[in-house]
Amino acid sequence: DIQMTQSPSSLSVSVGDRVTITCRASESISRYLNWYQQKPGKAPKFLIYTASSLQTGVPSRFSGSGSGTDFTLTISSLQPEDFATYYCQQTYSTPQTFGQGTKVEIK
């Protein structure tokens, strides 16, 4: 199975900050990389697919980049509703696998 490793595991930021989360795959996954946002007690929300395509309705402050093994999720200006845990997921091969998550907390 392909292993997905996110960094950092958590970060403390302020509203308006630029946030960058990285995700590394244990082997090349081309651009088959998704990002999800999860708030406490809620189901994950689909944000980005194929590394950089925004799902319908997702604010443009979210962006994704990368290919091969290294990927990035960027939030250009963090809003109060963005405090959550973010997960990457590879869909290059079955079984699809998730990173361990990155918790974005209020500083």
89 binds another protein (CB under 8 A): yes
Nearer to another protein, 49 or 76 (CB): 49
66 binds another protein (CB under 8 A): no
Query: Least separation, in Å, of the C-beta of 58 and another protein?
Result: 11
Nearer to another protein, 49 or 83 (CB): 49
43 binds another protein (CB under 8 A): yes
Could you tell me which of 25, 20, 29, 2 has the C-alpha nearest to residue 74? 20
